[in-house]
Amino acid sequence: MADYYPLIARAVGTLNPNTPEQRRALYDRARRTLVDQLRIKDPTLTQTDVKAESAALDAAIQRVERDFARPAAPPPPRPRPRPGPPPAHAVPDEPPGYGDLSPLADTGKRWRLLIGAGVAALLIIGGVVAYSYMPRNLSAVRSDMHTMATAQKSAAVAAAETPEDKSNYVRMRQLVYYRTNQPVGTLVVDKNQTFLYVVRPNVSALRYNIGVGPECTALSGLFHVVRKEEPKPAGDALGARVLYLDKDYRIHGSSAAIPSGKLAGCIRLVDDDVIYLYDRTPLESRVVVAN
């Protein structure tokens, strides 16, 4: 776990005015930033790790609050030496009263430390403020998360019956952080990672688990969805839905719990995922296949 106390203390020290309301706003932004950064970390952290890091941040916040609530003790008075007779070798023209002053302190080092701490605090505050004002399509994200909740519950039950419980959670359909120069709505098929991404706004994508069949071993490049079809529900090898691409390549369903490259076909998804993708993918959508 990281030590968040120095960062939080420096950030609070730069607040002006430093009021309880301003500090609470700063703490809330820091909590949101930490949770978002932990969720996009690769490899994905467990819920226990995320809670532990959040608890460490809260402990640092409580420590900072205690420090600000504790009144600072006044410094002890500095004794001044009593002036005595000037030494025999004293310079005659030296102004009176300077003999009892302490030597000049090296203020250059102190200012360098203060400037360094101020720059670090400004970077932290700037990151938190920039994140808080980042444009977000919250309604779209909430809609996707609500729609996926029911499907994830049923998928979790199926995953619990297999020995791959931890990996199955990663393979569920979910909204993820995703950077790309492809336009929103593009389907990106990553055959190496066996994931299909649907590009969303605000540096995010909806990620699906896929299997790659022998028909698409060498498939790569730019394609488009040219036709959509709902096969007859009678054990069809193409699953519940089919999206046809240029040159008769297909993205289609599978009755298997987790599609694998050993199955026949092209780009395969579990039936729940392919139905969800089918209903939200219009004709002529861009499909980029990467090796």
Which pLDDT tens digit goes with each residue over 203-221? 999 999 998 888 788 888 9
Residue 228 and residue 278 in contact, taking contact as beta carbons nearer than 8 Å = yes
**Which are the contacts of 208, defined by CB distance < 8 A and separation ≥ 6?**
173, 195, 196, 197, 198, 269, 273, 277
Question: Tokens standing for 30?
Answer: 């820091």
Helices and strands per DSSP (H, E), number in the chain: 7, 10
Specify the DSSP class assigned to residue 44: P
Question: Tokens standing for 51?
Answer: 């809670």
State which of 66-70, 141-145, 205-209, 253-257 shows the largest mean pLDDT. 205-209
**Which are the contacts of 80, defined by CB distance < 8 A and separation ≥ 6?**
100
- pLDDT attached to residue 34: 80
pLDDT tier, 15 (very low <50, low <70, confident <90, very high otherwise): confident
What ranges do the domains of the chain cover? 1-72+114-134, 139-290
Torsion over CA: 47, 51, 52, 56 (sign): positive
pLDDT at residue 158 greater than cutoff 70: no
- pLDDT attached to residue 31: 85
Task: Give residue for tokens 């420590």.
Answer: 63
- CATH number 2.20.25.90 is the correct assignment for the domain at 139-290: no
- The verdict on pTM exceeding 0.75 is no
pLDDT tier, 171 (very low <50, low <70, confident <90, very high otherwise): confident
Q: What is the per-residue pLDDT across 35-68, written as a single tens digit (0 to 9) for each? A: 878 777 767 778 888 788 888 888 888 888 888 7
pLDDT at residue 259 greater than cutoff 50: yes
How many other C-beta atoms are found inside a 10 Å radius of the C-beta of residue 122? 13
